[in-house]
Amino acid sequence: MVRPRVLILRVGGSNCDRETEWAFSLAGALPERVHINRLKEGSKKLNDYQVLVIPGGFSYGDDISAGKVLANEIRHNLKEEINRFIEEKKPVIGICNGFQALVKAGILPWNGQQVVSLGWNDSARFEDRWVYLKIEGTVSPFFKGLPPVIKLPVAHAEGKFIPEDDDVLAKIEKENLVIFRYCDLDRSLKGYPYNPNGSVNNIAGISSPDGLIVGMMPHPERAILKYYYPDWQNEKDREDTGYGLIFFRNIVRYCR
């Protein structure tokens, strides 16, 4: 069985790259953590990989705004390579800080210019909690096999999804680009703390129109095994696999 090669982009401040590497290893891929400088100097080639992942963390300390410096690095140094990657229908995944970088680089939701952002949480503080997520009728193939409501952890200070205007929001909704929304256990859309950041329409993640570019604030790499869940002992009938691992396996299955 072919094991797809996964490039996990690393920069100063990345701190979820090792967890993401382990998750892809369990899912059957061949992940490699690669510093952005290796791509810029040409010693590593993006085209040699089947998946690009920008993991969570605090790239460059989030000194300007979360993911902004990395977004500029991508736009000015890697845009041609990433555009070719996208044209070849290879998955691009952004998790938390990676999601912030993808939208600020203008890659999500429509590859071109920035039309959405992720701003400061309404609580004006870092939110680190497990959240319920309502799976939508997404066009992305990476969320198959998941139940209507899943639970994943979030950990961010700038995760509030904000569209540029009502027209952008309406287009995102019309094209079914929303992957999942913050909700309660009964799939009802609620405010804080269920929506940990005040995201418009409770949006927690989006995809490109073809579903192959995905950005999300929750951390699937922190929900690989059921034992990661704070209430795992209450779910004795569930398999050992966490919802996060299903997501990573779906990416590997698509590449195969």
* CA distances to 67, 104, 242 from 74, in Å: 10, 10, 31
Q: What is the CATH number of the domain that holds 78?
A: 3.40.50.880
Query: Which residue segment(s) compose the domain that 14 sits in?
Result: 5-120+157-166+206-255
The number of folded domains in the chain is 1
Closest CA to 254 of 139, 136, 118, 130: 139
- State how far the Cα of 160 lies from the Cα of 103, in Å rounded to an integer: 12
Report if residue 132 sits inside a domain: no
Report if residue 134 sits inside a domain: no
Would you say how long the chain is, in residues? 256
Q: CB-hemisphere CA count at 13 Å for 87?
A: 7
Q: What is the pLDDT of residue 48?
A: 97
Report if residue 248 sits inside a domain: yes
Report if residue 150 sits inside a domain: no
Report if residue 191 sits inside a domain: no
Q: What is the pLDDT of residue 1?
A: 66
Q: What is the pLDDT of residue 226?
A: 87
Q: What is the pLDDT of residue 231?
A: 83
Q: What pTM was computed for the model?
A: 0.96
Report if residue 77 sits inside a domain: yes
Report if residue 198 sits inside a domain: no
Catalytic center residues: 96, 219, 221
Helical segments of 5-115, H only = 17-27, 36-41, 68-73, 79-87, 97-104
pLDDT in tens, the chain (256 residues): 689 999 999 999 999 999 999 999 999 999 999 999 999 999 999 999 999 999 999 999 998 899 999 999 999 999 999 999 999 999 999 999 999 999 999 999 999 999 999 999 999 999 999 999 999 999 999 999 999 999 999 999 999 999 999 999 999 999 999 999 999 999 999 999 999 999 999 999 999 999 999 999 999 999 999 888 888 877 665 667 899 999 999 999 999 9
Report if residue 216 sits inside a domain: yes
Q: Do the bridges between strand 127-135 and strand 116-119 make them parallel or antiparallel, or are there none, so unpaired? A: unpaired
Asked if residues 47 and 90 have their Cβ atoms less than 8 Å apart, the reply is no
Q: What is the pLDDT of residue 77?
A: 96
